Amino acid sequence: MKLALASLLASSASAFGPSTSPPSAHARKPLRGFWKLNPQTKEEALTFASGIASAITDSTPDVDVALFVPYVFIESTMSVVGGKLSVGAEGVVPHSSGAYTGGISTSMIKSVGVDWVLAGHSERREIFGETDYYINAQCLKILDEGMSVMLCIGESLAEFEADLAGSVCATQLKKGLKGVRKEDLDRVAIAYEPVWAIGTGEVATPEIAQSVHAKCRDILAGMYDQETANMIRILYGGSVTPDSIDDLMAMPDIDGALVGGASLDIKNFGMNWVKS
């Protein structure tokens, strides 16, 4: 079972405060998401979360770190990170109550202190059949509950090879954020995760990632306005490692990373991922 660990250092409100900054390099406060760490037990999850938290010190650059964890580990993870990280959930059902056996609602996870929830990961889309319509309902429910959502988008290999990355992301953004009010966008982050890069070792080049991120920002500007689009953080995910993260983060429209497999290297995880 994959463990999705992710988080936020500062409060989401200050982290996402309105900005009039031009879209220069990292006008947006960098957000680092860490996830799919795969520990199989609570003990391993807690060891890992403690290690990440201890790597964040007063001299750590001002980045937000989020740990998205399976429901069963949320509260115990919160108890060991000492408020240095924000602990999020890997998903929700878009229903408040009723006959949805096995589902976890937004009010349930909010009641244990969760601020952030993932939606739209390609594995949820592919394996669990979550559609853009369903993902949109999740986003709206998460925002209605007062929490923040990280909406994952990205094209398949066939779509990438057919030069359809931009149009796929446009569709997923427009459908995923349908009905999301402009005033709620300070609680939205986007994760561009090309499916062909997830878990494959085939990290997108900084130039490819930057190009799609810039397109995503243009799409958001069209959906809302440029100032709003400039404020929204767009993370890259897909085979990011300590070797590739700095070049990715040097790109003007890449505001953070969602890290899966590489974050299993606990020794490297802390300092190498939060250093810049």
Task: Tell me which residues touch ligand PGA (CB under 6 A).
Answer: 35-36, 193, 198-199, 237-240, 258-262
126 is catalytic: no
Tokens of 110: 């909010």
* Phi, then psi, of 206 in degrees rounded to 5: -55, -35
Q: Please, which residue, 49 or 262, has the CB nearer to ligand PGA? A: 262
Nearest distance from C-beta of residue 261 to ligand PGA, angstroms = 3
**Cβ at position 222, least distance to ligand PGA in Å:** 26
* Nearer of residues 211 and 241 to ligand PGA, judged by Cβ: 241
Query: Which lies closer to ligand PGA via its Cβ, residue 206 or residue 260?
Result: 260
Q: How far is the CB of 36 from ligand PGA (least distance, A)?
A: 5
Point out the catalytic residue in the list 123, 130, 155, 193: 193
In this complex, which beta carbon is closest to ligand PGA, that of residue 201 or of residue 222?
201
Q: Which two tokens stand for residue 145?
A: 């509950």
Helices (H), the chain: 12-15, 42-55, 74-81, 106-111, 122-127, 132-144, 157-161, 165-176, 206-223, 226-231, 242-249, 266-274
Q: How far apart are CA 95 and CA 211, in angstroms?
A: 36
Q: Specify whether 26 is catalytic.
A: no
State the DSSP code for 112.
T
Q: Which residues lie below 8 Å from residue 55, measured CB to CB, with a gap of 6+?
A: 269, 270, 271, 274
For the bound state, the minimum distance from the C-beta of residue 168 to ligand PGA, rounded and expressed in Å, comes to 16
Q: Are 242 and 274 in contact (CB under 8 A)?
A: no
The active-site residue out of 121, 130, 145, 155 is 121
**CB of 254: closest distance to ligand PGA in angstroms?**
14
User: Which of 198, 228 has the CB closer to ligand PGA?
Assistant: 198
64-69 and 31-34 strand pairing? parallel
Residues annotated as catalytic are 121, 193
